[in-house]
Structure 1
Amino acid sequence: MTLGYDLYWSFRSPYSYLVTRRLVELERDYDVTCTVRPVYPIAVRQPDFFAKSDPLWFSYFMLDMRRSAEFAGLPIRWPVPDPVLMDPVTRTYPKEQPHIHRLTRLGQAAAERGHGLRFIDEVSRIIWDGTTDNWHQGDHLARAVGRAGLDLAELDAAIAADPDRFDRTIEASQDAQRAGGHYGVPLMLFDGEPFFGQDRFDQLTWRMAQKGLMHRQGKR
């Protein structure tokens, strides 16, 4: 029996990036499918969130981000540029967000074509692994999308033809995320049970094993 789960995921979340490779390997080796449901980060949903947060929140976040990447054996650097534009004085986020809106809509388009997990894996690497400056320029994004088995121009054209539909779908995913039990990312929702955070991957697979998770043929 094939198991399935929903993945609520953001391109601005380092923890989303850190869990993705393990989710790719899980689907490669086990009879499980992931439904990728891209959502906007908290900075877009609540533009004043960081302006109101305790300064210790951010300093600990940066420390933990680097430590978690080191523990996972993955490279990480804050993206250049940041997928979400911020006013450095007020620490608030303007409504116009060219990068994160495009990325999230592209992620939704990829998911609809059955390549969601491969897409977020390849694209998050060029954003987060520190090897690519100006990931939004040149052919960096197109090449990453190509490695995921898709064509960037085709995805952009599909979004341009009906951007409101993509926005409605993303908003529906955000509503479903909260209904599933949490507002943060990455959130894996399996059999009605939420697993929030990249550090809940082992508990996710433990629960799946209880529900009959099986190796794919030839993967033992």
Structure 2
Amino acid sequence: MAGFSQNADTTKPAARKKAFQEGYYYNWSGVKIPGLIRHKHAVYSVELGTNYIEFKAIADDKKKKLTVADVQSFVLDTDSFAVLRSFKSYYDVYYSKDFVKVVDTGNVNLFLHYNEKRITGSDGGPAPVGGIGSTTGSTATVSAAGIESLYYAQKNDSVYCVTKKEFKSLSVILFGDNADLMKKISKKKLSFDNLELITEEYNHWKALKIVQKP
């Protein structure tokens, strides 16, 4: 299907314009600032990533654009977003930092990173993330194809892009010391589709082990 990536774990069609939601953000001085927030997606930048927010203190205010240079975390409804540093996408594109949705935290931190996929050229093939907003010829066209989301798992000081293709090998690195979970993964009782549940159960197991230490 044109505009959808076989490598992506989830690609949703380009959505209608999002409404502002009540929320708050923390700046890099640690100050909490409440107001109305809209999560947006942007052209790729090594330093600023592909995500930013629009903020208004009150509904009648003029909106202002805030990036990872201004914001260390923000909350919309029940969703929390933080800044993840020094990671590479499935497409080997490097991000110095960008906003990610926090899925679970503990011994393994699990995040979702959002990126606006675009299609370019006469063949309708997906543009690489680094090529978003650029063209290679006078007849090339670029249009939004949807929002792609990819899982990232952080353990110790390493960050891994977890895809269906890499799930089995990465599960050894991320969850390998939990024999019960690894047995279920080996027998295909648990799979990539259960990544959030696996991470939650693993973090709970690790937390109990710490508490039970003599």
Query: What TM-score, normalized by structure 1, do the two folds share?
Result: 0.25
* Structure number, greater radius of gyration: 2
Comparing both structures, which one devotes a greater share of its residues to helix? 1
Q: Relative contact order, CA 8 A, sep 6+: which one is greater?
A: 1
Comparing both structures, which one devotes a greater share of its residues to strand? 2
